[in-house]
Chains A and B, each alone.
Chain A
């Protein structure tokens, strides 16, 4: 009888612990539960009068269920003041982006969950400068090194950041024209007025472009993205404990790029 009581007591205690565990876990955010994201995009570049006007539409499936989360439309233009430099201005309308504190359920932070942000429109203004150099001393003589720098102002809570991307591209030329190019890059986002980390998001990036014709390119790219969400100033000002979430996942991207020159 004593044994039965002890067993029941133990089961009750274990049951209570099991019920209580999610409550304790809810005190700290965890990364989203996906390891793979699939992205598709198409770009049209209209080259005219010294400007490259660009329009891009991007969509991305995220999380474990590969749900349609991120979507964006980008419009803007590049201008090339000198051979080795392009500057650009772009505006991006996007939705489905997760920012710091998007895991908080308001007004009560418990229990937490990831907010759905697919209906939240954000506007990003981007200023871009990308010096590039032909490394014709390397084997094949068709290597290009580019260092892209981009200032980003997001209307969502006036967040500002700087993106830096060193990028090396090798063009496989057939009859003096590119047939395929291979890109390796590392992209890093430095938050200027939010977050508690030096780098908000970063990833190595490998891409292949098949030049189907002078006007059409097909893109296949892959990267391993790491994003860090951390306490916002509002969160800390409310007396909450600081937090930091690091989320890493693979991204596979497909693209079709059109270049038009009237």
Chain B
């Protein structure tokens, strides 16, 4: 039976993979390679040596760094990705069709035509910090459970403390080292920005 074109559009696919990358869907886990389909409910995970880029078909691409796991919660007009661990970059190709959001713990980052980076930071008192910074466009960040919302503009970032409290957007020096490139043909797509450097290094203070 032929699959209607409208349903085909609800699939995404792996467009680039390095190292260990697995896609877990209805048929169980499989090693991922360019062309591997992903759909709503799929889990994509990279190993400590892995990197993956995924086209989510609505004009959105995401890049998963090493040791990252995401679940495609929904795909289509309202594409939702849930970040379970690690870090990812987003990139919108042209005009976003529908909406796109990334969820990390209780935080939702809603995208309006933009590039942003989201990652888990340190765990403090059993709660994970979430870092988010925007390269272009604007991201609406919200924590629905506590009615907190903030708009993060390009060049700014925020730390969602313990995943429960939004901080004011500001410029962070560490974001300058992020590799936003998602086109392997023009250069490396790897990003090794240490999330530890997003925190003040208390051992680096010398006053005299």
Contact = CB atoms under 8 A, between A and B. Distances in A.
A86 B206 contact: yes
B207 A43 contact: yes
Nearest to A47: B204
B129 A176 contact: yes
Contacts of B159: 175-176
Contacts of B204: 52, 80
Given A175-B159, A261-B173, A83 B207 contact: no
B206 A178 contact: no
B141 to A, nearest CB: 15
A144 B205 contact: yes
Contacts of A255: 207
Contacts of B206: 45, 52, 54, 78, 86, 88, 130
B161 A134 contact: no
Q: Chain B's interface: helix, strand, loop or mixed, by majority?
A: mixed
Given A175-B159, A175-B161, A219 B203 contact: no
Given A175-B159, A176-B161, A257 B203 contact: no
Interface string A52-78: 101010000000000000000000001
Given A176-B129, A176-B159, A261-B173, A171 B207 contact: no
A134 B199 CA distance: 14
A157 interface: no
Interface size class of B (residues with CB under 8 A): 10 to 19
Interface in B15-43: none
A176 B208 contact: no
Contact of B200 (A176, A183, A207): A176
A116 interface: no
Nearest to A183: B207
Interface in A129-163: 130, 132-134, 142, 144
Nearest to B203: A132
B202 A43 contact: no
Contacts of A177: 199-200
Interface in B139-166: 159, 161
Given A175-B167, A176-B129, A181 B205 contact: yes
A111 B27 CA distance: 101
A171 B200 CA distance: 10
Interface size class of A (residues with CB under 8 A): 35 or more
A99 interface: no
B203 A134 contact: yes
A169 interface: yes
Contacts of A83: 203
A142 B124 CA distance: 12
Interface in B175-208: 199-200, 202-208
Contacts of B129: 176
B86 to A, nearest CB: 20
B152 to A, nearest CB: 15
Contacts of A118: none
A3 B167 CA distance: 92
A169 B208 contact: no
A169 B208 CA distance: 14
A225 interface: no
A84 B199 contact: no
B129 to A, nearest CB: 7
Given A52-B204, A133-B203, 17 more contacts: A52-B206, A56-B208, A84-B203, A86-B206, A130-B206, A132-B203, A134-B203, A169-B202, A169-B205, A171-B200, A175-B159, A175-B161, A176-B159, A176-B199, A178-B200, A178-B202, A207-B207
9 contacts: A52-B206, A88-B206, A130-B206, A175-B167, A176-B159, A178-B200, A181-B205, A217-B207, A257-B207
